[in-house]
Structures are given as C-alpha cells and as structure tokens.
Structure 1
Amino acid sequence: MPRYRAKPIEIEAAQWWVNGDHPEDGPTDHEGRIVRYFRHPGPDYAGDVLHEACNRIWHVHGWIDTLEGGHIVCPGDWIVTGLQGERYPVKPRIFTATYEPVEA
C-alpha cells in the first residue's frame, strides 16, 4: 500500500481549560464565542457525572462548532485553527505528537 506524509503547515492553537481561555472568547464570566458552555439535558450529563474520556464532571466541559458538526471540548484540549479558519479540538497527547512550536 502507498504511504504518505502530511505536508508541513503552520497552525494557530490555544489550550483550553475554562471558558474564556481561547483568545477570541472574551471574558471568562460570559459564554465564549469559540468554545461555548456545554449544555446537554438529561441524567447522563448531570453535574456530578464523569465524562469517560477525561474523568472530569460534565459541568467543566465546553462545546465547539466544527465543519463536521459540534464537538465536546475537555479541559486541557487544544483548539486548533486550520488553514481555512476552521476550528476543532485536539487531545493533548495527539497535539504534542503532531505539532511543535514554530521559531519566530
């Protein structure tokens, strides 16, 4: 099978921990424009229920709209801005395996 290598590209990224962490979100006491509050009715997402992927309560999660639809943002995820301005969350271990800082 043929093999391929990703072209080197530069991206912008900001690590998200709480509402307001993304530079375009605004103040932390308001809902962000990029990463919004996570809202999901029902007992499976109650405030004391843990998210299996990160082992944190649902109340501290965010939500981001992507080209593929909406995605949950866990505390510590990186918000990457792609080549066409699209944004998406990337888990920390994937981010560090895929990206490295760009020298000025």
Structure 2
Amino acid sequence: MKFQKRRSVIEATQWFAPGDHPAVEERNGAWSVATPEGWHTVQVGDWIITSSEGEVFCMSDALFVDRYEPLVER
C-alpha cells in the first residue's frame, strides 16, 4: 500500500511477524532494521518505510498514522 506525506510518496508495510518485510532481521535477540542512522529495533505494529531513494526506516504506528495518509491513486 502506498502512503503520502507532504508531496512525498513512500512504500510502507506494517510489521507484525518475521517475513512481513525483508529488511527486518533478527539481531542480538531482537527484530531490527538497518536504517541510515544504524540498527533500529522493530516492535509489533511498527511501520517499515522505504523512501523514494530506497532508504529504510522504522516508525511507530501512532507516529505513522499522525504523519501519513493512504495515497489515492487516480
């Protein structure tokens, strides 16, 4: 599903379990994703975001819902 934020379009997948997104890996006993700032722990319900530049980020559900809305494709 695509979402938008201030004219930028991202790909996002809500993560619930291993296999939901290929960027999420088990690391030191926790599920994590490699971001430009380093490894970030992923919690159930977090969103894994891929920017238009291909960078991967993790965001809590509450923050994601506050910042993004589904993209209406025409």
TM-score of the superposition, structure 1-length normalised?
0.61
- Distance of 1:7 and 1:93 partners within structure 2: 18
- 1:86 and 2:55 aligned: yes
Identity of aligned residues (%): 36
What letter corresponds to residue 9 of structure 2 in structure 1? E
Which structure has the highest strand share of the two?
2
Match of 1:21 in 2: 20
Structure 1 moving runs of 4+ over 2 Å: none
- 1:69 and 2:34 aligned: no
- The structure, 1 or 2, with the larger RCO (C-alpha pairs under 8 Å, 6+ apart) is 2
Give the superposed CA RMSD: 1.5
Listed one character per residue, the Cα deviations across residues 50-104 of structure 1 (whole Å, up to 9, x for unaligned) are: xxxxxxxxxxx41110101110000100000012100010000100010000112
- Distance of 1:62 and 1:38 partners within structure 2: 6
Report the count of equivalent residues. 69
Where does the alignment leave 5 or more consecutive residues of structure 2 unmatched?
none
What letter corresponds to residue 82 of structure 1 in structure 2? S
Structure 2 residue matching 1:88: 3-state secondary structure: strand
Where does the alignment leave 5 or more consecutive residues of structure 1 unmatched?
1-5, 26-33, 41-60
- Distance of 1:92 and 1:38 partners within structure 2: 22
